[in-house]
Amino acid sequence: MLTQNIITKYTVPVPRYTSYPTVPFWDESTFNKSLWLQKVKQSFDISNHKDGISVYIHLPYCESLCTYCACNKRITKNHGVEEPYLQAVIKEWKLYKAVFSAQPQLKEIHLGGGTPTFFSPENLALLIKGILEDCLIHDDAEFSFEAHPANTTLAHLEVLYALGFKRLSLGIQDFDEQVQIMINRIQSVEEVDIVSKQARAIGYTSINFDLIYGLPLQTVNSLTATVEKVIGLKPDRIAFYSYAHVPWVKSGQRKFTEADLPDTHLRQELYEKGREMLLAAGYLDIGMDHFAFAYDSLNVAAQSKKLHRNFMGYTHQYTRLLVGLGVSSISDTWDAFAQNVKSEEEYLDLINAGELPVVKGHVLNDEDLLIRRHILNIMCKGVTTWTDEDLQNDAFRENLSGLPELVEDGLIIQEPQSLKVTKTGKRFLRNVCAVFDARLQATKPEKQLFSIG
């Protein structure tokens, strides 16, 4: 049963587990670019023919600062930055293609940011054509992009659709005027409605809305009004995130203080109200703040136990190899991670010198791979099982000692060699995974590394 004591107990800073190990616990001493390229080649050889590969492209520019945002971005109104940056991304992709042993088969492309629709339709076409050159497209490929409703034009939608994009994610966050002013994210219901209708008329098959609860000045009444408007627009899926307040990381969040934010009790009220309304409107709870209609591919994957989670979040597409292009992007070969430099100047200098812009990474050891498998199972399937061989891993066996408390609190049901997340536990997937996080449990960091919610 979900009680206020349980809510308070588990409303603590823990990772969102888009990877394991999480970035703060990467061991950079075992990583170098040469080893990274070996891992890329090995992963490509394993996955390309069967599963294809995924590509994430980070487009960091925004014309104005959304003060809630913790993403890596550059604020500018100078659109002269577009073409040099995109040409650099294409050059980075060519550096990776030189490592591949065959034509890459693309199963997934996602444009994130920043604001991808900061870029002109013509320049986005230049980018995607450069990425697709000499590549094959997987039969089950899905291309998607994030967009700001206030600057997404019909031309953006048409150009990207013609290049294979069928999924659109609109950053809404909140429709309340006072909240929008506070977070400097201004768009009207009418603008969102126009973009959504245009996308559907063109042929986009899935539209996602991002919403955030826990924002400054939010109330139950204001959130209710926002969710009512969202339901009326009928997006296919909704990401209903908790606001991550990390002003020590992103100074823009200092426009407001903790006094402007809903307290723990109100945050939970906001979530419960939003969730209740979405479920009543026919959306299904996928987990980790994601909701979708039954027909949407995210729900289909969840029901068939094929849901996957990576640095782009939940996806119905599994690929062993994810190549991240652009500043701050993270790549994943399954047994290693690498992250690019975070400044555009350094990124452009490295690319133009013919160097891969990777700045740090981590090579997973056997313990990491075992724990990664279990965390993915919990996050994506709500169940995991272990064998006697798993128990030979000291860290894994030790972490199992944390399960009885989760059982007592009603978050999981435990069997001798398995666990299943309960309906209550589904609200606290991050906390269940944290029990298995050997690196987190071993260090117990003194400073806060992760957001609450």
Q: Which residues are annotated as a binding site for [4Fe-4S] cluster?
A: 62, 66, 69
Q: Rounded to 5 degrees, what are φ and ψ at 421? A: -75, 135
Distance from C-alpha of 324 to C-alpha of 141, rounded to nearest angstrom: 17
Paired tokens of 253: 């969040």
Distance from C-alpha of 452 to C-alpha of 14, rounded to nearest angstrom: 7
Side-chain half-sphere exposure of 333, counting CA atoms within 13 A: 23
Distance from C-alpha of 153 to C-alpha of 99, rounded to nearest angstrom: 37
Paired tokens of 244: 């991550």
Distance from C-alpha of 278 to C-alpha of 234, rounded to nearest angstrom: 10
Q: Where are the beta strands (DSSP E) in 250-329?
A: 284-287, 290-292, 308-310, 313-315, 322-325
- What is the edge-to-edge ordering of all strands in the sheet holding 418-421? 383-385, 418-421, 412-415
Beta bridge partners of 57: 111, 325
- Is 33 within 8 Å of 358 (Cβ atoms)? yes
DSSP character at residue 13: B
- Is 33 within 8 Å of 359 (Cβ atoms)? no
Of 209, 207, 117, nearest to 168 (Cα)? Answer: 207
69 burial class (0-12, 13-18, 19+ CB within 10 angstroms)? buried
233 burial class (0-12, 13-18, 19+ CB within 10 angstroms)? middle
> Which residue positions form the known binding site for S-adenosyl-L-methionine?
56, 68-70, 113-115, 146, 173, 185, 210, 244, 330
Q: Rounded to 5 degrees, what are φ and ψ at 272? A: -60, -40
> Which residue positions form the known binding site?
56, 62, 66, 68-70, 113-115, 146, 173, 185, 210, 244, 330
Distance from C-alpha of 82 to C-alpha of 292, rounded to nearest angstrom: 34
